[in-house]
Amino acid sequence: MQKRILGNSGLEVSALGLGCMGLSFGYGPVTEKQQGIQLIRAAVEAGVTFFDTAECYGPFINEELVGEALAPFRDQVVIATKFGFKDGDSKKGLDSSPARIRAVAEASLKRLKTDVIDLFYQHRVDPSVPMEEVAGTVKDLIAEGKVRHFGLSEAGVDSIRKAHAVQPVAALQSEYSLWWREPEKEILPTLEELGIGFVPFSPLGKGFLTGKIDEHTTFDTTDFRNIVPRFSEENRKANQRLVDLLGEIARQKEATPAQIALAWLLAQKPWIVPIPGTTQLHRLTENLGAADLPLSAADIHEIDTAFAAIPVQGDRYPVHLQKRVGK
């Protein structure tokens, strides 16, 4: 697996990381613990060195799973986790008070079975706490040796600049894929200017770009895609054209739609590190194959031109979740 460095931070990680959220949260039933451990360790064996979790995934059980799975490889991997919700519960609202940040750091260290958090993200910007205070608190944790690098998730340009002025931001994590390209307008230029790495989550469009979901797919009652406008039956039917197009390109390249979607992201900037998630070993292998799929400038142009002709239908978040992003 090739390595990449997140911006100017010096933080080196595998070109593709593993988003671990779906093993415990958001996409249906919790994966059986030993199966989750097996998947994470298979990723390590395949060369993945970058693993993403958060206290609110579960809550808490995802960090515990990641900590146990990676304990034998701790010195070989980079673990990212997040703070920012009341009591670690994303349904309870935001809390990035300095006391809460410190409490999360201590609890996460225990759950992750480690003495340092490699990358500590603010999960969502908290309008009630000045960004300078948030960044200052993480700066103190770095000085104390409990955290190595500071990150933000779904933050807007103003928040990124305010944070970076206090404590250099190593990475921004936000949604970015062939069917969500909003970051190209302001976020990517700002990150390039400041030397901040970019970690796209949902790089496969929450599974839609794999071609395994269509208008007839039914999701588990606990799957959050049930409330995502873009995943309404009507919008899935309308957006099928995108997946069909991706499938055509994949056939030409003797690859899968997922591999094309990930290779496209990797080709955008050398400091972009997508973190696709999966619960299936064969999907893990498929996704990681994208790191060895080079796309030429002509390929990228062809993909961009084709996708530009098909407008995506449906918002990426319901209104109450959309209010938390881009601040």
* One-letter amino acid for residue 23 of the chain: L
Compute the distance between CA of residue 263 and CA of residue 203 in angstroms, rounded to an integer: 10
The pLDDT of residue 56: 98
Dihedral angle computed from the Cα positions of residues 205, 209, 214 and 219, in that order, rounded to the nearest 10 degrees: -40
The pLDDT of residue 296: 93
Compute the distance between CA of residue 186 and CA of residue 169 in angstroms, rounded to an integer: 17
Backbone angles phi and psi of 160, in degrees to 5: -60, -45
Compute the distance between CA of residue 111 and CA of residue 145 in angstroms, rounded to an integer: 17
The pLDDT of residue 318: 93
Q: Is 317 a catalytic residue?
A: no
Report whether 310 contacts 241 (CB < 8 A): yes
Average pLDDT of each block of 10 consecutive residues along the chain (327 residues)? Answer: 97 98 95 98 98 98 98 98 98 97 98 98 98 98 98 98 98 97 97 98 96 94 95 95 94 96 98 97 98 94 93 93 93
- Residue burial 225-247, b: 16+ Cβ < 10 Å; e: rest: beebebbbeebbebbbebbebbe
The pLDDT of residue 185: 97
Q: Which of 57, 121, 176, 317 is catalytic?
A: 57
Fold of 3-205+268-293: TIM Barrel (3.20.20)
Domain boundaries, the chain: 3-205+268-293
Model pTM greater than 0.95? yes
